[in-house]
Amino acid sequence: MGKKEDNRGRARLEAKVRIRIIGVDEKEEVYTGNVSKEGIFIQTRNWKPQIGHPVQMLLTLDEDKEPVKFAGTVVRVIDANQWGKPEGVAIEFSKIESKKTKEFDQFLDSIFEGKGLGCRKSPRAMMKIEVEIKNKKIAQNVLTQDLSKGGAFFVMKTADVEMGALLDIVLVHPTSKRKFVLKGEVVHIRTGSSNHPDFVEGVGVQFIDLSEIRRQDLQVFLKSIVSSKRRKTSKKRK
């Protein structure tokens, strides 16, 4: 899997974020979406800006401190659809308030170390990294669509996969190429037509048989992946 995959997308962390969009919100609102060093996607039905629309927002990183001002541009608007993608607006950051970059990095780290949304125990990071999977029926190199401390979704053909199947999994760090070996159980299979651009075929896997020490090791490994994705994309934009 060559260069193309090495440079795929940034790590976007699923979260509830406290924001006031200047000129749109009268007060701070709690938005669900995902956030990265480079931008944010917020779920909303009430705001439908044009692509390219300039945006200024105040984002609360710490309850005990004043909100931080961000400037950006609308890069995508998603309407309601039958494929399960939420309505919302994607904004690419162009400027962050001076001297707040480190504080924002710490905020992103705190999201990944916290609790997931809804019934999820761990927050998901939407990112694509290489994974080696195998059992008696399959042996494939695939990509993740999202990844958390509890499991992952692998983009792959599902014809030879069964619910409850056990997998030997090797996560490959995108920059250091270091490998983390663990086991997983298939808990979700997504099949159907791939004609729609929003449809992704693949399997959801829950990580299993992790001791507390291995769980902590996995946390460190995944956090380093999230951080490396941030650094790599930031360098490319300079």
Q: Which domains does the chain have, with CATH numbers?
A: 3-113 (2.40.10.220), 127-237 (2.40.10.220)
pLDDT value for 121: 67
Question: How high does pLDDT run on average in the chain?
Answer: 83
Alpha-carbon span 116 to 102, nearest angstrom: 23
Which are the contacts of 182, defined by CB distance < 8 A and separation ≥ 6? Answer: 169, 171, 207, 209, 210, 214, 218
E-strand ranges in the chain read 12-21, 29-35, 39-43, 54-59, 68-78, 88-96, 125-126, 130-134, 139-147, 151-155, 166-172, 179-190, 202-208
∠ CA 2-195-129, rounded to 5°: 25
Spatial contact of 210 and 122, defined as CB atoms under 8 Å apart: no
- What contacts 24+ positions apart, CB below 8 Å, involve 2-6? 5/128, 5/130, 5/143, 6/174
Taking 50 as the threshold, does the pLDDT of residue 136 lie above it? yes
Percentage of residues in the chain with pLDDT exceeding 90? 40
Taking 70 as the threshold, does the pLDDT of residue 234 lie above it? no
Average pLDDT over residues 26-51: 90
Spatial contact of 101 and 84, defined as CB atoms under 8 Å apart: no
Spatial contact of 16 and 42, defined as CB atoms under 8 Å apart: no
Residue pLDDT, tens place only, 182-198:
999 999 998 876 566 66
Query: pTM score > 0.85 for this model?
Result: no
Alpha-carbon span 133 to 182, nearest angstrom: 10
Taking 50 as the threshold, does the pLDDT of residue 232 lie above it? no
- DSSP 8-state assignment for residue 117: S
Q: Is the dihedral of CA 101, 104, 108, 109 positive or negative?
A: positive
Alpha-carbon span 77 to 49, nearest angstrom: 7
